[in-house]
Amino acid sequence: MSKKNLIYVDEKSGIPLFGVDFLGIIDRGTNIIEIKPITICNLKCKYCFVSAGDYETNFIVDIDYLLKNIQELVKIKGAHDLEVHIAPYGEALLHPHIFELIKKVKDIKGIEIVSMQSNGILLSEDIIKKLEDSNLTRINISVNTFNRNLAEKLCGCSYYNIENMLKNIELLLESSINVLLAPVWFPGKNDKDIEDIIKYVIAFRQKGYSDKKIQLGIQKYLVYKTGRKLKNVRPKSWDYFYRQLSKLEKKYSIKLKLGPKDFGIHRRARIKMPVFQKGHKINVKIISKGRWNWEAIGKIDENSGIKVLFKRPLTFSENLIGKIYNVLIIKANYRDNIITSLLSI
């Protein structure tokens, strides 16, 4: 990837870290602070709901800029019982300063847990040791099957080393890091594989590993307009998904329906963001290009960003940067503090 297709987000960039779904910090009004420090991914999973790995422009967030904003958010929420969850639209282990970020986040007073999502491909004995030394609490690994051929098809890669993945999971279990296996259930595609993963987790628990040391969080397959879709796999309703989980819970005597209480999630104060409704028109300053040629990042105020989509055939141009435009609010998700708008010139 050329440097012109990579944007480094620091304080000087002027890009706010709140308000944009793929970048910075997501505050859902709970004790979980979700951060997205990178958009680069080493896979192009055929089911990825955000199409990671294909972006025309990628972003890396400066850790000092992130830490400053996290510390401000901790002041708002209260310095106790907090978790920072690293969940990028990409692969966290590709961030050049990921270990330093984890360590410095864990050193912030009030942050008890630092967790991260990963596809697990880049894990190794050395990486696991560095994660352990950085005081990572838990890693969520998105492994969907133990079948190499199916894994390669799902992940869109030519070689998926299942044996290496299983070896690294065992190394993690011998470390101070807790493990959560987070497979996505594709109805009719990996039904047997989901049961294989359940039996795998049960086998470790029978060896004495606690349900905190190795957790299982089965995810429902979701389809979004901007994401990739698996051929011949139709998403089921939430009712169907939970009915199937209930059947598996009875069959294997294991808890599979996890909720906020299982992760200690509770309500907390949230950062104040400008309040708009869908259909409102507001003025925003274009501050950066986005991931795609039809996307930009706008700025509402010093703390608040906004994703700006272009009404096609309009595409991003460097001439737009620094200019103020009247945009239409098409999505105002205040549960996540995410705002999306449309620009037509």
Q: Do 146 and 286 fall into the same domain?
A: no
Q: What is the mean pLDDT of residues 230-252?
A: 96
Render pLDDT for 204-226 as a digit per residue (tens, 0 to 9): 999 999 999 999 999 999 998 88
Tell whether 271 is covered by a domain.
Answer: no
User: Is it the case that residue 203 has pLDDT exceeding 70?
Assistant: yes
pLDDT at 226: 81
Render pLDDT for 104-151 as a digit per residue (tens, 0 to 9): 999 999 999 999 999 999 999 999 999 999 999 999 999 999 999 999
Q: Do 37 and 152 fall into the same domain?
A: yes
Q: Do 230 and 313 fall into the same domain?
A: no
Q: Do 78 and 25 fall into the same domain?
A: yes
The structure's pTM equals 0.95
User: Is it the case that residue 2 has pLDDT exceeding 60?
Assistant: no
Tell whether 274 is covered by a domain.
Answer: no
DSSP-derived letter for residue 258 is -
Q: Give strand pairing partners of 310.
A: 343
**Alpha carbon 125 to chain centroid, angstroms:** 24
Tell whether 20 is covered by a domain.
Answer: yes
Q: Do 189 and 305 fall into the same domain?
A: no
Q: Do 304 and 239 fall into the same domain?
A: no
Q: Do 17 and 71 fall into the same domain?
A: yes
Tallying the residues shown for the chain, one arrives at 345
pLDDT at 4: 63
pLDDT at 273: 86
Q: Do 249 and 307 fall into the same domain?
A: no
Q: What is the mean pLDDT of residues 238-248?
A: 97
Q: Do 186 and 81 fall into the same domain?
A: yes
Q: Do 301 and 236 fall into the same domain?
A: no
The residue out of 210, 231, 263 marking a domain boundary is 263
Here the contacts of 127-131 (C-beta below 8 Å, separation 24 or greater) are: 127/93, 128/168, 128/171, 128/172, 128/175, 128/177, 129/175, 130/99, 131/99, 131/102, 131/175, 131/177
Supply φ then ψ for residue 132, to 5 degrees: -65, -45
Tell whether 119 is covered by a domain.
Answer: yes
Q: Do 318 and 235 fall into the same domain?
A: no
The residue out of 198, 233, 263 marking a domain boundary is 263
Peptide bond into 235 cis (omega under 30): no
Q: Do 42 and 111 fall into the same domain?
A: yes
Residue-range definition of the domain harbouring residue 327:
281-343
Render pLDDT for 290-319 as a digit per residue (tens, 0 to 9): 999 999 999 999 899 999 999 989 999 999
pLDDT at 247: 98
| Per-residue pLDDT band at 47 (split at 50, 70, 90) | very high
Tell whether 38 is covered by a domain.
Answer: yes
| Per-residue pLDDT band at 157 (split at 50, 70, 90) | very high
Residue whose entry in the numeric block shows the structure tokens 């996290």: 70
d(CA 179, CA 182): 10
Query: What CATH number is associated with residue 285?
Result: 2.40.50.140
Tell whether 270 is covered by a domain.
Answer: no
Query: What CATH number is associated with residue 250?
Result: 3.20.20.70
User: Is it the case that residue 1 has pLDDT exceeding 80?
Assistant: no
pLDDT at 333: 79
pLDDT at 3: 59
The residue out of 263, 295, 312 marking a domain boundary is 263
Q: Say how many domains are in the chain.
A: 2
Tell whether 276 is covered by a domain.
Answer: no
Tell whether 147 is covered by a domain.
Answer: yes
Q: For a pLDDT cut of 90, what percent of the chain falls above it?
A: 92
